[in-house]
A and B are shown apart, each in its own frame.
Chain A
């Protein structure tokens, strides 16, 4: 369970975000909507510990993220959070398999062992790209690239998937297929999904929708 209480965050003297209260239950699928620049991505970064709020409290399964040190937050992020990005953020010089296992290569907290490698293969097979693991991103379609990105987000068995416009670059059919896949794999892993989206067509697929217009925000002035 993720809880945000009385969060206040701002960039310099301009952007201000205030979230009085926000909770995400285990296994819940929540969509975040709102106009551009309203702070949706900032919310994801606060929960992931990439940004630190000026005030307030963020806790994940009882662990207060906002109180962790920089190194602890990195470890928390590597082991408890899975990220899916709009632009997939795959590395062109690595194969699909190497991309999926990339978190193990960059975080000392994660140990790349046979179990992780087997999990990567299982996830890829479940996402329909089991036969394309040795291809580089340039040789994959956009849908296939996003599947690789989903596998990368899930391979560390995180409790929370943060999706930032993950279906934004896909055609309508692919959007639903990718969302089906994301939900199915998250459900299998018991992970909650918090997804930022502009696509109102997909909102019905989520358990709950948070509209950022509900949060008070604006210029500091």
Chain B
């Protein structure tokens, strides 16, 4: 106890030095645990969402971009595919297609235009409010609600894609009609709207004042179209009837399509249909893309482990040197203690007690840090995965 008493007194008096040693030692212990935890959680989360998504249809190009955009609503923007590809899946009777249009955002969160099937497919529950029912409605993820302090009854405005957009694609104000329960997945970070609402944001569909009213016709007035015609920026019960789409819906865009085959055979048949390299669309198996990504991450992790090991060895050497120099500086104390009747072993015990206290405090900090990482890993990984590139 005396050795611990003296060791504690020494460490407390030289608190700055002790603090540096404790923090360095704690980091040496904490960093590998935190890295391993976050990587393992990332792998588990990535693979789990990949496994939960049987097939993805998108334009031919980067399979990873398509997968990340469809599963994590990341900033990657795969080329859109036309809606007739969705219809083709429907018509095949082999699978259920769920379109995802992820080209737009609001307040830093991705707007996901989709169908109601998506909520059933992902098993998403509402924490408050109702689901999508009317053009313009928005259902937001739990993290969006928390970060933007939004709830049912509030509104969100889509971000303009280009400040100099002269086509007149105006931001759309969307009422929040529901908030999803947290899932610790990318869905927490998304704003869900009907895919038609996404097309309105894109400018394909719009609503505006009548160009020619019944009164005009009765008065024999010629039709006039000019800038005075007001385009609506909010869909309301009063103006919803005026919203319409120009062109053939088969040609409207979607970023990706989740394809849920009826069975394994149906899935295999569908995959065969998209094997042709000349086909502008591709059908990918997300879990294979994700596994390839995870394998790549873990190859990088091996390198990271080596770097961490080298840094740890250097840090341990630095700590050892600091301790050694400290003990050298205390040679006079050792001589005094021996002259006053101490055993040399007692002096060694004193130094060991100091080392023990430093390691114990460092270990405690590392454990607390690790527990925090473990408890929040799912949430942090979910957030990290939606950051995009």
* B333 partner residues in chain A, CB cutoff 8 A: 89, 91
Contact in complex: A83, B340 (CB < 8 Å): yes
CA distance A107 to B350 in the complex (A): 12
Tell whether, in the assembled complex, residue B14 and residue A93 are in contact, meaning their CB atoms are under 8 Å apart.
yes
Mask, A97-117, CB within 8 Å of B = 1, is 010001111111110000000
| Cα distance, A151 to B88, chains bound together (Å) | 98
**In whole Å, how far is B328's beta carbon from the nearest beta carbon of chain A?**
16
Most buried by A among B341, B343, B346: B341
B342 engages A107 (CB within 8 Å): yes
CB < 8 Å neighbour of A50 from B12, B13, B339, B343? B339
Interface size on A, residues (CB 8 A): 28
Instruction: Pick the contact of B337: A75, A106, A109 (CB < 8 A).
Output: A106
Q: Which of B2-10, B56-64, B204-212 contacts A (4 or more CB under 8 A)?
A: B2-10
The reply to whether the CB of B246 lies closer than 8 angstroms to some CB of chain A is: no
**B2 / chain A contacts, CB cutoff of 8 Å:** 104-106
Enumerate chain B residues within 8 angstroms of A103, measured Cβ to Cβ: 340-341
Query: Once the chains are docked, how many angstroms separate the CA of A48 from the CA of B335?
Result: 14
B-side contacts of A85, CB under 8 Å? 336
List residues 1-57 of chain B with CB under 8 A from any CB of chain A. Answer: 2, 5-6, 9-10, 12-14
Cα-based distance from A102 to B347 in the complex (angstroms):
13
A1 sits at the interface (CB 8 A): no
- Which of chain A's residues 79-95 have a Cβ closer than 8 Å to chain B? 79, 81, 83, 85, 87, 89, 91-94
In the complex, B311 has a CB within 8 A of chain A: no
In angstroms, how far is the closest chain B Cβ from the Cβ of A152?
8
Residue among A83, A92, A107 with the highest chain B CB neighbour number at 10 A: A107
Q: Write out the residue numbers on chain A whose beta carbons fall within 8 Å of the beta carbon of B337.
A: 106
Known contacts A89-B332, A91-B333, A107 near B341 by CB under 8 Å: yes
The chain A residue with its CB closest to the CB of B338 is A50
Which of A118-145 touch B at CB < 8 Å?
136
Q: Output the nearest chain B residue to A85 by Cβ-Cβ distance.
A: B336
Task: Please report the C-alpha to C-alpha distance between residue A62 and residue B215 in the assembled complex, in whole angstroms.
Answer: 133
Q: Give the residue of B336, B341, B347 whose beta carbon is less than 8 angstroms from that of A78.
A: B341
The answer, among B13, B335, B341, for a CB contact under 8 Å with A92, is: B13
Evaluate contact between A98 and B9: CB separation under 8 angstroms: yes
Answer whether residue A205 sits at the interface, using C-beta atoms and an 8 A cutoff. Answer: no
Which residues in A have their C-beta under 8 angstroms from that of B332?
87, 89
B341 engages A109 (CB within 8 Å): yes
Given A50-B338, A91-B333, A106-B2, the answer on whether A74 and B9 have CB atoms closer than 8 Å is no
Residue of A nearest to B337 (CB): A106
Residues of B within 8 A of A147 (CB): none
Q: Give Cα A93 to B326, complex, Å.
A: 13
Query: Which residues on the A side are within 8 Å of B14 (C-beta)?
Result: 93
- Interface assignment of A77: CB less than 8 Å from any CB of chain B: yes
Which of B10, B12, B13, B346 lies in contact with A106, CB distance below 8 A? B346
Query: Are A74 and B342 touching (Cβ within 8 A)?
Result: yes
> Please, which residues of chain B bring their CB within 8 A of the CB of A107?
340-342, 346
Task: Identify 8 residue pairs between A and B in the complex whose beta-carbon atoms are under 8 Å apart, listed by A's number.
Answer: A74-B343, A78-B341, A78-B342, A89-B332, A104-B2, A106-B337, A106-B350, A109-B341
> Which residues of B are in contact with A by a Cβ distance under 8 Å?
2, 5-6, 9-10, 12-14, 332-333, 335-343, 346-347, 350
Ranked nearest first, the 4 interchain pairs of A and B with the lowest CB-CB distance are A78-B341, A93-B13, A106-B342, A89-B336
Q: Given A50-B339, A105-B5, 12 other A-B contacts at CB below 8 A?
A: A77-B341, A78-B340, A81-B341, A91-B336, A93-B12, A94-B9, A103-B341, A105-B2, A106-B337, A106-B350, A109-B341, A110-B341
